Chains A and B, each alone.
Chain A
Amino acid sequence: MDRKIRVLVAKPGLDGHDRGAKVVARAMRDAGMEVIYTGLRQTPEQIVQAAVQEDVDVLAMSILSGAHNHLFPRVMELLADKGASDVLVVGGGVIPEDDIPFLESKGIAAVFGPGTPTSATIEFIKANVKRR
């Protein structure tokens, strides 16, 4: 069986800074993953619907607007509603360290701050993705 890691790269919130998300998406592709890129201004509802329909192993969200404490937990809630809590969820962008424990308590597996090499994100995913 030919199992590929499928990742949804999403930008919740209103900020339009997608350089990081796009660089990470390319790096994931070059690491052999299948990346579904959904672009800017995704609502938590849209993100979760896409994660379910695309049956992804990983949901990677990037946000630079500061709305992470509002939007990330909402995504986690909706994933749980859909019985999709087994999706590995990671976050990135400009997220102050002080907020990370809170986000982790909501089920975000890891938060990658500015300057994280893409290889670190990819290794984390490969090590932590839940094989089904």
Chain B
Amino acid sequence: MGDTDKLRASVEAWRAGVDKSLAKHPERKASFETGSDAPVERLYTPLDLEGEGYAEAIGLPGEFPYTRGVQATMYRGRLWTMRQYAGFGTAEESNERYKYLLAQGQTGLSIAFDLPTQIGYDSDHPLSAGEVGKVGVAVDSLVDMEVLFAGIPLDKVSTSMTINAPAAVLLAMYVAVAEKQGVSPSALEGTIQNDILKEYIARGTYIFPPAPSMRLITDVFAYCARSVPNWNTISISGYHIREAGSTASQEVAFTLADGIAYVDAAVKAGLDVDDFAPRLSFFFNAHNDLFEEAAKFRAARRMWAHIMRERFGAVNPKSWMLRFHTQTAGSTLTAQQPDNNVVRVTLQALAAALGGTQSLHTNSRDEALALPTEASVRIALRTQQIIAYESGVAETPDPLAGSYYVESLTDRVEKEALAYLARIDELGGAVRAIEEGYVQREIQDAAYAYQKKIESGERVVVGLNKFQVPEGRPTGLLKVDPSVGERQAAALRALRLRRDGARVAAALRGVDAAARGDANMMPPILEAVRAYATLGEICDAMRAVFGEYRPGSTF
């Protein structure tokens, strides 16, 4: 009898024994599920990993297929970047917050923009009323960006900007600020989110229809490959897909499907895959189910490595590596007993570290209620610092590898995600699957199923549907000064009087002409930005040519 057979026999005996004792010692529940509702077995053993060669499936850190991480020494070399997403009100206020965060030991900036900026409206647009400065900083023109980064040397920080539909414009503004600081674009480091597909799927800040949007994205790829080589040109995001209610496997599947669509588009646009793929980055969510989440990150890395090498024929190992940012799950935070959220964030951050993230944002405990206060932001940052410096999980790469449970979870996430990818290929790719509403419907179904389980009590959320306490109103929440809108509008009026109107008009004609043709959009956008054309004006010029996206019903 071989070792495996011996093991199989003893496991069977064990199962039989347990089955017998169940009558007397029943389990807590009839069935057990992961956070994403996948079944969890009573026991995991080497039998669950059978037929799997260690080298091909798991491998070594820093080596294909990168299941164990993209660097050989992982956090022994350098810890993940601690990057808290922040920004609100005016550029001045945000600038102060950034300086505070840098002083607190944060190692990268992460800029949140308000909704009008994200949708390409100036602060004085009628649809901006009530929204200016609310969920991030308002940027109307280069003037605001100059203030936003005043006193922050752009060659010394890495900056991540959560901006999508108008990403090209905001990147151009960043480059223009750098120019004014005397910093060469080639010295800039950072990321723009630039991921329009997940906006259609889950986040909603789209402007243009898919075709011109994809073109803008590949234009940014091409421009950065030449001029801003250290810039992450896109952050392909599963975060918002998960927030919208997807499962872990769906998060991986739909994110990678979007990634495939971008690579496809860029290759079709004539770019060499190895010229741009090393600058692709990803952005995932971290939920409470520690093992499933860690497994999710591992599965995503392995899948992407295969996709890039086999599907796209990339030969540069950097093209195979899935590097990602993680944010803890806002949707898991409860407004009830908000201090409990610190514990949730800890579990989630731990999952991200165990999963080998390159950078991490930890949510603040009061985010389910309003913008976080400074004290909450500090606890959130301290949470990841404690994990990094005190927990010991950063001392060796991929410490969960070899766990029968985690490896089989990794396989399961991969298998489910591959099935989704096959379905999406059948539908004609991610863009088509989104247009048809397929992706959105799958997510909505999962979100609704989840909600029903919470309401039935089948799934316990501490403080929400179990262990509740009578609570007063939370206090001390940060509020944005409602006059931000008026101040931005006044500044815009002043700018329009001050700037060289003829230069602005000419630059906007340049944007219009480029939009109609097929030259790279970045140079004319950069020229418009330098001329102090506003974000709204530049986006309007493109709207006039590209049209606007209108979603359909996806029920």
Chain A positions near chain B (C-beta within 8 angstroms): 13-19, 22-23, 25-27, 37, 39-41, 43, 65-67, 69-71, 94, 96-98, 113-115, 117-119
* A14-B116 CB under 8 A given contacts A96-B369, A96-B370: yes
Chain A CB within 8 A of B335 CB:
yes
Q: A22–B245 Cα gap in the complex (Å)?
A: 11
Question: Is A65 a contact partner of B555 (Cβ separation < 8 A)?
Answer: no
Q: A115–B468 Cα gap in the complex (Å)?
A: 12
Question: Is B477 a contact partner of A96 (Cβ separation < 8 A)?
Answer: yes
Q: A15–B555 Cα gap in the complex (Å)?
A: 19
Which residues of B lie under 8 Å from residue A25 when comparing CB positions?
555
Q: Is the interface of A mostly helix, strand, loop or mixed?
A: loop
Question: Is A18 a contact partner of B115 (Cβ separation < 8 A)?
Answer: no
CB-nearest residue of chain A relative to B129?
A: A70
* Chain A to chain B contacts (Cβ below 8 Å), 7 pairs: A14-B128, A14-B131, A17-B243, A19-B245, A65-B131, A66-B480, A114-B334
Which residues of B lie under 8 Å from residue A94 when comparing CB positions?
368-370
Q: A94–B444 Cα gap in the complex (Å)?
A: 20
Q: A39–B550 Cα gap in the complex (Å)?
A: 10
Q: A31–B320 Cα gap in the complex (Å)?
A: 49
Q: Is the interface of B mostly helix, strand, loop or mixed?
A: loop
Q: Which of A13, A22, A69, A118 has the most CB of B within 10 A?
A: A22
Chain A CB within 8 A of B182 CB:
no
* A115-B464 CB under 8 A given contacts A23-B447, A26-B555: yes
* A40-B204 CB under 8 A given contacts A94-B369, A96-B477, A114-B334: yes
A17 to chain B, nearest CB (A): 7
B376 to chain A, nearest CB (A): 14
Question: Is B203 a contact partner of A16 (Cβ separation < 8 A)?
Answer: yes
Q: Which of A14, A26, A70, A98 contacts B119 (CB 8 A)?
A: A14
Question: Is A117 a contact partner of B455 (Cβ separation < 8 A)?
Answer: yes
Which residues of B lie under 8 Å from residue A115 when comparing CB positions?
334-336, 368, 461, 464
- Of residues 448 through 496 on chain B, the ones whose CB sits less than 8 Å from some CB of chain A are 448, 451, 454-455, 461, 464-465, 473-474, 477, 479-480, 482
Chain A CB within 8 A of B534 CB:
no
Q: A19–B422 Cα gap in the complex (Å)?
A: 26
Q: A37–B455 Cα gap in the complex (Å)?
A: 23
CB-nearest residue of chain B relative to A113?
A: B335
Question: Is B135 a contact partner of A65 (Cβ separation < 8 A)?
Answer: yes
Chain A CB within 8 A of B442 CB:
no
* A15-B455 CB under 8 A given contacts A26-B555, A94-B370: no
CB-nearest residue of chain A relative to B370?
A: A96
- Of residues 118 through 137 on chain B, the ones whose CB sits less than 8 Å from some CB of chain A are 118-119, 121, 126-131, 134-135
Q: Which of B204, B335, B368, B369 contacts A15 (CB 8 A)?
A: B204
CB-nearest residue of chain A relative to B206?
A: A16
Q: Which of A18, A70, A117 contacts B130 (CB 8 A)?
A: A70
